[in-house]
Amino acid sequence: MPLLEMKHITKAFSGVYANEDVTLSVEKGEIHALLGENGAGKTTLMNILFGIYQSDGGEIFYKGESVRFKSPADAISHGIGMVHQHFSLVNRMTVLDNIILGSGGKKEVLDRKQASEEICSLAEKYGLFVKPDELVGSLSVGEQQRVEILKALYRKADLLILDEPTGVLTPQETENFFHVLRRLKDEGHGIIIITHRLSEIMAISERVTILRDGKSVKNLVTLNTTPEELSAYMIGRPLSPKTEDRKKTSKEAALSLEGVSLSKKRAGKMALDHICLTVYKGEILGIAGVEGNGQKELAEVITGIRKHTEGNISFDGSAIDSRSVRERFHKGISYISDDRHMDSLVVDMTVTENMILRTYNRLPFSKKWILDYKKAENRALEAIEEYGIRTSGKSGTRTPVKLMSGGNQQKVILSREISKEARLIVASQPTRGLDIGATEFVHQTLIRQKNQGKSVLLISADLDEILTLSDRIAVMFEGRIMGILNREEADVFKIGLYMGGVTEEGGRP
Amino acid sequence: MNHMKKWKAIEVTEIAFLSIAMAAILILLSGADPLTAGRMFFNGIFGNASGFGEVFVKATPLILTGLGCSVAFRTGFFNIGAEGQFYIGALASAWVALNATGVPGVFRIILAIGCGFLFGGLWALIAAILKAKLGISEIICTIMLNYISMNLLGIAVRTFLMDPAGSIPQSEKIDASVTLLRFLKPTRVHTGIFIALGAVFFVWFLMEKTTSGYEFKAVGFNKRAAACSGISVVKNIILSAVLSGGLAGIAGAVEVLGVQKKLLEGISGGCGYTAILITLLAFNHPGGVLLVSVLFAALEVGANSMQRQMGVPSAIVDFLIGFIVLLILGRELLTGKMRAKEGK
């Protein structure tokens, strides 16, 4: 008898199927991978299982009995635990308090001592080492994840749902995390792991269910499959081989940073600590690192959104330290932010209006004080044509950007930021949240820029992306550059060490 | 899209029906016959020229303050201070009209209105700087400044602007050559209405056709993205706030020069607060502000007629306005939720 069976699950939103006849079964002691592109329906399926949504049709059997969870609390009480991609922890409370939060049981008085013992024995059993008295806010991301898993186990979860659990981990942390998963499996827990990383599926799972366009298209035993087969099922066609040739980089510097620092508002720590970095013309320089180690600050200091507190930045041979965001843009520094909705788009405005966000105050879009919407509209139409942007709406260029898909939103940003005049593109997580097709498009666009002699500073938490695109790779840790590796000498292990703040001999911290 | 239009149509009829029903109930409660009251209501508005003209007299300050609020709301500056800016504008223009005796008629009018704009704008600037530079809530600041300005005016009409011949706290009458022409006698309609209509066009043009309007919009919707694209958030917030206060200041000046012809306490009649409702109901659109202002003014004129003729309290209108606003905002919330549920 399987631990969980979801049969013929169907769920539609406004007549569009998010899940259609999806079937999934998980055994006790099995790690089951749920694979699919963005929008394939993975999250919807898990939200139905966890009681966040109610399905329109189909049945769920858990431990042999037919169930229908009305709320997450209902699912939790039946023994299902979910670790979301963005943790739900209270930073200013201790590990212990976070774990027992909301699971008070029937007793009137909290028995922290007993809870603590219970948690310690759970931690011991599964290798989830955390200190119960530490504040969650002071833990690393990997440790916080362990707290989340402990939280689920403390609530007696037999089935764990893990949503993109490795996105924020270093390769070493991922390895540790996999050890934990194997132990959980050996103890008879069922685990559903949602991911789009094929290598991890191959490494950890027993079986894979692949979703595409809301349907479960295939169920495979991992041992009998290959990453190529998985990706073919996932996107419905084989991956196109990387055809773009790479041109050699020039010796001429485009951007150089000398001892650039940025002090944090609070605490004594530096957000950026004496960064020295050069990006050459025709080069893609990758910045690897666990998120939150100063990458965002680096991008913002270069684009002028924040002013560095120490050091010099020069672009194309002239100092730009005191230049404004707008001046830097017109000198050729453009920016694709990791936070599309906050930094790069005004989502309530139309495609046209977003297209001229950088240039609305210049010819041809305006003369003196008067805007020429006609010209702007034409510009938008050109971009829609050139980039194949789908505006998903009859209003075309007047569609508010918030109604468009992530991939199409990103294309709006690309077409705006990668103009003829752009000479350095600071691209931060440019493919986050995009499906494989859109990701390929972004990658090819960036390589084309490089081949035209432009420079790209590519910041990404996705190591595969960094390794495929970059000419050189710099690794950031706590606001410092731990080392810079050439394309040829870069390997995951070395980068992983740098990402964790370890410098081996010969490194250039 | 069609879906939304359908919703809108249903909403409008529903809200109209509900508010008429509510009005009837209230009139019944005050012991009058709703049908006769209704007749008196419309009679007050359309029955004679002076009543009809009064609609536009009352609409003029509402349009100007409403436009003021809509300009500020565009950048996300929630200006609750139109009332105070109105007072300061009225005070400044009255002072100029009474004291700048060296300046001949028409020019003194222009100067007085200009000063109304200037000081109303400066009054809003205080809150704008506190918000833009220090992040202090503009809502609190502008409300507090309302009290200050109210009492400033109170001090003025008891001291340096007090009519030396009278004993009531108000200024002496402004010379007829410095007042706004009443061009449709016997109605009280004065040239201030053209200033208001001009302002409607100006604000529409500014919002829809200029780079400043574009910047306001970008800043209002997403300050962060505006800043990341090189648009100055501070500059635009301050600019919109000053313009907003200036428009309310003009409203004050026009009320002094066109209607009251002197400065007195309570001169705004609360129109600085009504303006906020008007802007909300007009979805920030200048044309909408014009329309809603005229409607509100007509309601008031009609209600006054009901009160005069039948003793039905005109406060019913304030009640109704509040009721309508709640209905509309509640409806928004409801449909918004339903749409979110369908869409997610």
Q: Read off the pLDDT of residues B3-21 as tens digits, 9 standing for 90 and up.
A: 445 556 667 788 888 888 9
What span, in angstroms and rounded, lies between the C-alpha atoms of B325 and B333? 12
Q: Least CA distance to B231: which residue of chain A?
A: A326
Average pLDDT, chain B: 89
Give residue B3's pLDDT.
47
> Which residue of A13, A348, A358 is in closest CB contact with B344?
A13
Helices (H), A215-339: 227-235, 295-303, 325-331
- Which of A6-20, A51-65, B231-245, B329-343 is predicted least confidently? B329-343
B243–chain A nearest CA distance, Å: 17
Contact A387/B at CB under 8 A: no
* CB pairs < 8 Å spanning A and B: 69
Distance from the Cα of residue B313 to its chain's centroid: 23
pTM for the model stands at 0.78
Inter-chain contact A325–B212, Cβ cutoff 8 Å?
no
Long-range pairs of B150-155 with CB within 8 A, sequence gap ≥ 24: B150/B83, B150/B84, B150/B87, B150/B265, B152/B87, B152/B88, B152/B91, B153/B87, B153/B88, B153/B90, B153/B91, B153/B263, B153/B265, B153/B267, B154/B265
Give residue A495's pLDDT.
84
Angstrom distances, CA of residue B204 to CA of A215, A433, A477, B277: 50, 39, 51, 19
Contact B5/A at CB under 8 A: no
Cross-strand partners of A215: A212
B204 contacts in chain A (CB < 8 Å) = none
Cross-strand partners of A34: A194, A209
With residue A145 as reference, give the H or E element that holds it.
Answer: helix A141-154
B211 contacts in chain A (CB < 8 Å) = 360-361, 366, 369-371
Inter-chain contact B229–A349, Cβ cutoff 8 Å?
no
B343 contacts in chain A (CB < 8 Å) = 13-14
> Which residue of A335, A344, A369 is in closest CB contact with B211?
A369
Contact A370/B at CB under 8 A: yes
> Which residue of B1, B227, B344 is in closest CB contact with A305?
B227
Instruction: Render the burial of A191-209: b for 16+ CB within 10 Å, e for the rest.
Output: bbbbbbbbebbbebbbbbb
Cross-strand partners of A192: A32, A161
A358–chain B nearest CA distance, Å: 6
A357 contacts in chain B (CB < 8 Å) = 218, 225, 229
B221–chain A nearest CA distance, Å: 6
With residue A285 as reference, give the H or E element that holds it.
Answer: strand A284-288
Query: What domains does chain A contain, in order, with CATH numbers?
Result: 4-235 (3.40.50.300), 253-348+400-499 (3.40.50.300)
Phi, psi of A460 (to 5 degrees): -155, 145
Phi, psi of A328 (to 5 degrees): -65, -40
B343 CB contacts (<8 Å, ≥6 apart)?
A: A13, A14
- Residue ranges of chain A with pLDDT lower than 70? 14, 38-39, 104-108, 237-244, 265-268, 392-394, 504-509
Among candidate residues B215, B229, B244, B236, the one with its CA nearest the CA of residue B82: B244
A337 contacts in chain B (CB < 8 Å) = 228
Inter-chain contact A369–B214, Cβ cutoff 8 Å?
no
Average pLDDT over residues B38-63: 91
Give residue B344's pLDDT.
38
Could you tell me the sign of the dihedral formed by the alpha carbons of A73, A78, A79, A83, in that order? Answer: negative
Inter-chain contact B226–A360, Cβ cutoff 8 Å?
no
Query: How confident is residue B339, by pLDDT bands cut at 50, 70 and 90?
Result: low
> Which residue of A13, A14, A343 is in closest CB contact with B224?
A343
Angle formed by the axes of helices A112-126 and A141-154, nearest 10°: 110
B224 contacts in chain A (CB < 8 Å) = 342-343
> Is there a contact between A127 and A179 (Cβ–Cβ < 8 Å)?
yes
Give residue B57's pLDDT.
94
Inter-chain contact A358–B230, Cβ cutoff 8 Å?
yes
A341–chain B nearest CA distance, Å: 8
Among candidate residues A169, A202, A174, A206, the one with its CA nearest the CA of residue A189: A206
Inter-chain contact B222–A345, Cβ cutoff 8 Å?
yes
> How many CA atoms, within 13 angstroms, populate the side-chain half-sphere of residue A494?
18
CB-CB neighbours of A241 under 10 Å: 5
**Domain range summary for chain B, segments of one domain joined by +:** 1-30+313-344, 51-205+234-309
Return the percentage of chain B with pLDDT > 90, whole number: 59
DSSP B10-24: HHHHHHHHHHHHHHH
Contact B340/A at CB under 8 A: no
Inter-chain contact B217–A353, Cβ cutoff 8 Å?
yes
A346 contacts in chain B (CB < 8 Å) = 217-218, 221-222, 225-226
What span, in angstroms and rounded, lies between the C-alpha atoms of A197 and A32? 14
Inter-chain contact B214–A371, Cβ cutoff 8 Å?
yes
> Does ipTM come in above 0.85?
no
Cross-strand partners of A367: A370
Inter-chain contact A14–B343, Cβ cutoff 8 Å?
yes
Cis peptide before A241 (omega within 30 of 0): no
Residue with tokens 């004080």: A369
Interface of B with A in 42-61 (CB under 8 A): none
Cross-strand partners of A482: none
Inter-chain contact A360–B228, Cβ cutoff 8 Å?
no
Inter-chain contact A303–B1, Cβ cutoff 8 Å?
no
Cis peptide before A227 (omega within 30 of 0): no
Measured between its terminal Cα atoms, the distance across chain B in Å is: 17
Residue B211 has pLDDT above 80, yes or no: yes
Interface of A with B in 228-287 (CB under 8 A): none
Inter-chain contact B221–A349, Cβ cutoff 8 Å?
yes
Inter-chain contact A357–B342, Cβ cutoff 8 Å?
no
A327 contacts in chain B (CB < 8 Å) = 230
Q: Least CA distance to A353: which residue of chain B?
A: B214
What span, in angstroms and rounded, lies between the C-alpha atoms of B187 and B57? 9
Inter-chain contact A360–B214, Cβ cutoff 8 Å?
yes
Contact A353/B at CB under 8 A: yes
Give residue B334's pLDDT.
66
Inter-chain contact B211–A361, Cβ cutoff 8 Å?
yes
> Which residue of A344, A361, A371 is in closest CB contact with B225?
A344
- E strands along chain B, which residues? none
Inter-chain contact A369–B210, Cβ cutoff 8 Å?
yes
> Is there a contact between A326 and A359 (Cβ–Cβ < 8 Å)?
no
Among candidate residues B155, B74, B314, B216, the one with its CA nearest the CA of residue A360: B216
Per the structure block, which two tokens stand in for A171? Answer: 């390769």
A473 CB contacts (<8 Å, ≥6 apart)?
A: A285, A286, A287, A288, A466, A467, A484, A485, A486, A487, A490, A495
A228–chain B nearest CA distance, Å: 33
Give residue A139's pLDDT.
84
Cross-strand partners of A336: A427
Helix, strand, coil distribution of chain A in percent, nearest 5: 35, 25, 40
Interface of B with A in 208-237 (CB under 8 A): 209-214, 217-218, 221-222, 224-230
pLDDT in tens, B277-307: 999 888 889 999 999 999 999 999 998 888 8
B152–chain A nearest CA distance, Å: 38
What span, in angstroms and rounded, lies between the C-alpha atoms of A347 and B262? 49
B206–chain A nearest CA distance, Å: 9
What span, in angstroms and rounded, lies between the C-alpha atoms of B238 and B220? 12
What DSSP state is assigned to residue A79? Answer: T
B230 contacts in chain A (CB < 8 Å) = 324-327, 329, 358
Inter-chain contact A348–B221, Cβ cutoff 8 Å?
yes
DSSP A307-366: --SEEEEEETTEE-TT--HHHHHHHTEEEE-S-IIIII--TTSBHHHHHTTTTTTSTTTE
Pairing of strands A207-212, A190-195: unpaired
Inter-chain contact A342–B211, Cβ cutoff 8 Å?
no
Q: To probe the interface with A, which of B5, B214, B223 has the most A CB atoms within 10 Å?
A: B214
Inter-chain contact B225–A346, Cβ cutoff 8 Å?
yes
Three-class SS state of B110: helix
